[in-house]
Amino acid sequence: MSVTLPPLKYNADGLIPAIVQDAKTHRVLMMAWMNAAALGATLRTGCMNYWSRSRQKFWLKGETSGHTQRVVRWAADCDADTLLFEVEQTGCACHTGYESCFFQTFTPDGTPVEISETRVFDPEKTYGG
């Protein structure tokens, strides 16, 4: 059985959130936003495309850094208003050089936990100073 989901629900700006997870380790790497065109390009090419809210432009992940994300499988949630993509990540997901954007963790009560991982790349070298 597969479920026929209702049409995807985009927000008032025409966007839907996309959670991105490493297909092998299941680490959550990032969350970004897609419009219908970015989702279409992602399904057509197999590489993650987003809509950048800060830059107000279409965004092929890795276009500058080379850190592309190949789609392995994806899911829509029960409300059809959030997407989850499992990907093969080249390099790392975060523009700060960490593997995941969620590198700063906290204890349940909100105390920051010391970061033990190291950056995968130097953002100044990748994006220019």
Residues in the site for a copy of itself, rule: CB under 8 A? 1-5, 17, 19, 21, 25-28, 30-31, 43-44, 46, 71-79, 82, 84, 94-96, 98, 101-110, 112-115
Residue placing its CB nearer to a copy of itself in the complex, 17 or 58 = 17
DSSP letter for 23, please: T
Q: CB-wise, 25 or 64, nearer to a copy of itself?
A: 25
What does the angle CA 111 – CA 115 – CA 116 come to, to the nearest 5 degrees?
135
Q: Are 62 and 71 in contact (CB under 8 A)?
A: no
Q: Which is nearer to a copy of itself, 63 or 79 (CB)?
A: 79
Tokens (6 digits) for 59: 């965004």
The nearest distance, CB 25 to a copy of itself, in angstroms, is 8
Tokens of 14: 């025409």
